[in-house]
Structure 1
C-alpha cells in the first residue's frame, strides 16, 4: 500500500509553493508562504496545475481542499516583488495566460475542489475562490479585488464574479476597491458556509468527506456539465486587455506607490 505521508512529502518538495497532506480520501493543499501572506509568485500557477494533475491521477483522492498556511491569509494576491522590473509585455502576457490556465485547471478538474478561506482572500486569492466548486470561510475571512489600485483589473475576477455576485457588486468591489467580510460574501453567494476560525479546516474536511461518499463519476460529469463552455479560449479578451494595462504609466506608478507605501498618483496613461 502506498505510504501517503511519503507521497505528500514528495509533492511538497516538487511543488514548493504548497504543502500537501492527505486526510482519508481528501487532499489538503495549503498555499505555504505565510511570511508573505501566501502571496502568489509567478511559479504558483504551473505548480497548482501540476498538483491538480497529480491528484487526478491518484485513485485514492476523491476531493481537494485548498487553504492558506497560517491564520491571517488564504492569499493576499499577487506577489508584486516577485515579478521583477525588467519583465516586458511578452513576459507579462505569458504570465496572464499562465494564470488563466491555472484558474481553468481548477474549474475543469475532474475532482471537486473546495476553498477553505482562513483570512484575507485578495486579488488572485479572491479569484481562486471563485474558480473552486464551493467555499467555506472562517468568520475572519475578507474578500477583495484591489488590482485597480495599482493600475490593473482582476482578469479572471471580472469574468467570473458577475455570474456569482452580479454585475453591480462586481463593479463595486473592483471600481471602489471594496472588501467584503465573510457574512457579506455568504449573502452574495461567494461563500456557502461560514464557521469560526478554529473550526474551518474541520468543517471543510467534514464537507469534503461527504463529497467523497458520492459516486465520483457522477460528480465529474455533473461538474463538467455545470461548467460547460469553460476553456482557455474564453479568457483571450481578458488577457488582451490586461496586456495593454501592463504597458501603462499608471501601472508603474501603482506598483511603485505600493512598494513605497504611499497613495498612487494616477494620470490615466
Structure 2
C-alpha cells in the first residue's frame, strides 16, 4: 500500500483523503456516531462526481470516523424538521439519489465498516461494491421501531442477503454481528479492528491497478439487473409512512429520550 501524495479536505461531513490512486471518504461526525444530516446526500453526489472526473482516483474506500460507528443512519432529529409532505418527499428523493450515485459510480467503492452500521449506514454498505468489516462491526435496519422502513434497503437487501434475511432485519430490527453478516453475504471479509483500514486501502490499491475502463464496464455489467424504476415506488411509500401520525409520535419520542 502506498500513501504518497496524500492530501486532505472536507465537503460537509465527508472528509476526503487522497492516497495516490485511492481516495478515502470518511463520514466525519463522531459525536453523533456519524449520523447523516440531510445535506450529506447532496455532498456525497458532488464528491463522487468530482472523483469520477479528476483522472487520479481509480478506487474509493468509504468508512466512518472514530472507533465506534461506520454510520448510525439518518439524524432522527432532522426528520422532525420536515413538516410538509413536499419536504418529506424531497428528502426521500435526495437520499435515494445518493444511494444510486454510490451504486452506479463507475469507480469501485469498498466499504470499511469500523463499527455500527445502522439504518442508512447499513444501506450505504448495500450500495458499495465490496464490504470489509471490523470484527467489532454490527449491522442493522431498525427503522420499523420508528414506523418506517429502509427505503433503499428493502430494494437492495433481497439481492444481497436474500428475501428472508431482509425481512428478518426489516421487520424485527435484528442486528447482525460481523460474522453473521459475512455468512449472510452482506460482508465479504472480516478483519481485526486495527487492521481494517490498512486492509481496505491495500485492497483498493490492488483494484486500482487494473484498467479503469475494465473496472467500470465490469461493475456496470454486474449491476445490469438492478431496476431503478423501483425507486419511485419506494419514495412514495416512505413519504406516506413518514407523514403518518404514529411515525411522528415515535420520532418525537426517540428525540425526547435522547435529550434526557
Name the TM tier (shorter chain). Answer: over 0.9
Q: How many residues align?
A: 255
CA contact (8 A) 2:80 2:252 kept: no
Q: 1:122 aligns with which of 105, 118, 129?
A: 118
TM superposition shift of 1:232: 4.5
CA contact (8 A) 1:104 1:231 kept: no
Looking at structure 2, the residues matched to 64 and 255 of structure 1 have their Cα atoms a distance apart, in angstroms, of: 34
SS across alignment from 2:210: coil
Map Cα deviations across residues 209-253 of structure 1 (whole Å, 9 max, x no partner). Answer: 110111110010011111125465330110111111011111112
Normalised to the residue count of structure 1, the TM-score between the two structures is 0.91
CA contact (8 A) 2:16 2:25 kept: yes
Residue 247 of structure 2 is matched in structure 1 by 251
Looking at structure 2, the residues matched to 48 and 97 of structure 1 have their Cα atoms a distance apart, in angstroms, of: 14
Residue 134 of structure 2 is matched in structure 1 by 138
Looking at structure 1, the residues matched to 223 and 82 of structure 2 have their Cα atoms a distance apart, in angstroms, of: 37
Looking at structure 1, the residues matched to 27 and 228 of structure 2 have their Cα atoms a distance apart, in angstroms, of: 23
How does 1:68-107 map onto structure 2 within 5 Å?
68-85=64-81, 87-107=83-103
Residue 265 of structure 1 is matched in structure 2 by none
Residue 184 of structure 2 is matched in structure 1 by 188
Superposition RMSD on alpha carbons, in Å? 1.5
- In the alignment, structure 2 segments of 5+ residues that lack a partner are none
Normalised to the residue count of structure 2, the TM-score between the two structures is 0.94
Residue 107 of structure 2 is matched in structure 1 by 111
Q: 1:26 aligns with which of 15, 22, 27?
A: 22
Determine whether 1:218 maps to 2:233: no
Residue 149 of structure 1 is matched in structure 2 by 145
TM superposition shift of 1:4: 5.4
Looking at structure 2, the residues matched to 186 and 171 of structure 1 have their Cα atoms a distance apart, in angstroms, of: 17
Looking at structure 2, the residues matched to 85 and 22 of structure 1 have their Cα atoms a distance apart, in angstroms, of: 35
Deviates more, 1:127-136 or 1:75-84: 75-84
How does 1:5-84 map onto structure 2 within 5 Å?
8-9=8-9, 12=10, 15-84=11-80
Determine whether 1:238 maps to 2:255: no
How does 1:198-213 map onto structure 2 within 5 Å?
198-213=194-209
TM superposition shift of 1:147: 0.4
SS across alignment from 2:229: helix
Looking at structure 2, the residues matched to 217 and 85 of structure 1 have their Cα atoms a distance apart, in angstroms, of: 43
CA contact (8 A) 2:80 2:251 kept: no
